[in-house]
Structures are given as structure tokens and as C-alpha cells.
Amino acid sequence: MTGQHLTGGPGRLAAKGDLFTPIHKALRSMIYSLSGRLQTNDFADVTATRTLVTDLENDFAVARSAGCTLCLLAQHAVDEESVVFPSAARVENQLITELISEHHGLTRRELEIAKAGHELLAMDSAEARLRAGAQLNLAANLLFGAYITHMNREEVELVPLMREHFSDPEMGAMQGKIVGQMPPDRLFAILGWMLPALNVTELTGLMSTFKATAPPPVLKSVTDLGAARVDPARWDAVKLRVGL
Ligand SMILES: [Fe+2]
């Protein structure tokens, strides 16, 4: 990054890049889905509860586990802090310091919820599980509320800042780095949430990038995933626009 990039440079085209909103759409969909399952789960039913807690998962040492919602939420903060925040901190250090502090608060809540889920599963009485399930739902709602407020803040404050101080190729390079360091199972887990969460314009842009840059087997896997997950009418429109 150069000084010219920090100031935008004379005559530079306004950047349109957005490293946050698309992945945040995926994370919001995950949160909405999990929230819906949590508030309707029968915690007296051990089998159903075990499936739910397994999907929540508690092993942050293997945060790359593909099916684990809390892991994906936690790992997203790591991606931001390792790739995007070091550059952004050079232009707005106070905001980035506060966002990192919010990440730590979210991680604390995630760990508490994962632990509470496993403690609940170890309870013998259905009555105790029902009581603990109500508490788990309250704790998860606090996490989800804080997580959504945090993402809103990044979109309102950080996205315009990034556009002001970084070019689209620079933001594209950051995005490439995040995707490049992501294990394939986590990438596809995120895409499984992201593809159906995007509108037709965003999907067209994303799939055009895959078509232009991804090896044919990867493009096929992503296309198959889109066909399976995205609303059929929206996916047909994307295929037509992209030429898939
Ligand atoms: Fe964040």
C-alpha cells in the first residue's frame, strides 16, 4: 500500500468494492436459521437437541469445521483481523481497535454458548434441559443481537472508509488472500450460505469472477452448489447473465 492509496490520489475512480456485505449476508442467514431452530427446539428431546448442539459445536481448536455455525462466525473475525484490519488500521486506528474489541466480546459469548450447549446435553432430566434450553436461547439471542450490530457497524462505517482509501484492485487482492487461505471445506460451507443469500446482481458478479478465475472443477462445484441452494428463478437469471 502506498501513500497515494491512503489519500485516494487525484482523479482516482471511486472504489465500489465491498469486502463485508456479501459475507455478512451469509452470516445473517446463518444466524436467522440457527435462531429459528433454537427457539423452536424441544430441549426435552435429547436426539433433536444433540443435533442442534452438534451444529452449534464447541471445538474452537478446529474452527475450520465446515458444519459448525459458531466456528464460522468466530473464524470470520479472524479473517478480518488477519487480512483487512491491518491495512484499515493505518487510516482509522480507533475504529479498528474498537471493532477488534467487539470481536473479543463475540468470541467470549460464542465460547459460553458452546459450553452451555454441552452442559445441557449432559443433564439427565428433561425438565432441567428445558430450563437450560430457555437460558441457551436467551444467551444466543444476546450473541446474535451483538453480532448483527457489529456487522451493521462494519458496513456503515468501514465499507465507506475502505472505498475512500483503497482501490478496487487492492480490495480484490485482500479478498483473494482471504479466500486463498481458506480450507476448501470452509469455503464451500460459507458459499452454501452465501449463494442463496445474495441478490441477482451480486450473484452475477460473484459467478462472473469464478468463471473468469477459477479452475473448471472448482467452477463446476460452485455452480452445482448454486443450483442446489439458490431459488431456481434467481439462479436461472444468473446463469443467463453469466453464460454458465
Ligand atoms: Fe467483524
Give residue 94 CA to ligand 1 midpoint distance, Å: 14
Give residue 18 CA to ligand 1 midpoint distance, Å: 13
Cell of 132: 437450560
Give residue 138 CA to ligand 1 midpoint distance, Å: 22
- Residue 230 and residue 210: Cα distance in Å, rounded? 16
Amino acid letter for position 175: Q
Give residue 78 CA to ligand 1 midpoint distance, Å: 8
Give residue 155 CA to ligand 1 midpoint distance, Å: 10
Give residue 216 CA to ligand 1 midpoint distance, Å: 32
- Residue 82 and residue 25: Cα distance in Å, rounded? 21
Give residue 107 CA to ligand 1 midpoint distance, Å: 11
Give the pLDDT confidence of 203-240 residue by residue, as tens digits: 999 999 899 988 999 999 999 999 999 999 999 999 99
Amino acid letter for position 195: L
pLDDT at 184: 83
57 φ/ψ sector (left φ>0, alpha ψ -120 to 50, else beta):
left
Give residue 39 CA to ligand 1 midpoint distance, Å: 25
Give residue 6 CA to ligand 1 midpoint distance, Å: 21
- Residue 111 and residue 60: Cα distance in Å, rounded? 8
Span 62-75, average pLDDT? 55
Give residue 19 CA to ligand 1 midpoint distance, Å: 11
Closest alpha carbon to 20 in 62, 83, 63: 83
Give residue 184 CA to ligand 1 midpoint distance, Å: 21
pLDDT at 66: 41
Compare 57 and 101 and report the one with higher pLDDT. 101
Compare 103 and 65 and report the one with higher pLDDT. 103
To the nearest 10 degrees (0 to 180), the angle between helices 69-79 and 46-56 is 10
Give residue 115 CA to ligand 1 midpoint distance, Å: 22
Helix (H, G, I), strand (E, B) or coil at 223: helix
Give residue 20 CA to ligand 1 midpoint distance, Å: 8
pLDDT at 53: 87
Give residue 123 CA to ligand 1 midpoint distance, Å: 34
Task: Give the DSSP per-residue string, 17-76.
Answer: --SSHHHHHHHHHHHHHHHHHHHH--TT-HHHHHHHHHHH---GGGTT-TT-HHHHHHHH
Amino acid letter for position 99: L
Closest alpha carbon to 149 in 74, 88, 99: 99
pLDDT at 220: 96
Give residue 100 CA to ligand 1 midpoint distance, Å: 7
Give residue 30 CA to ligand 1 midpoint distance, Å: 15
Give the pLDDT confidence of 21-31 residue by residue, as tens digits: 998 998 899 88
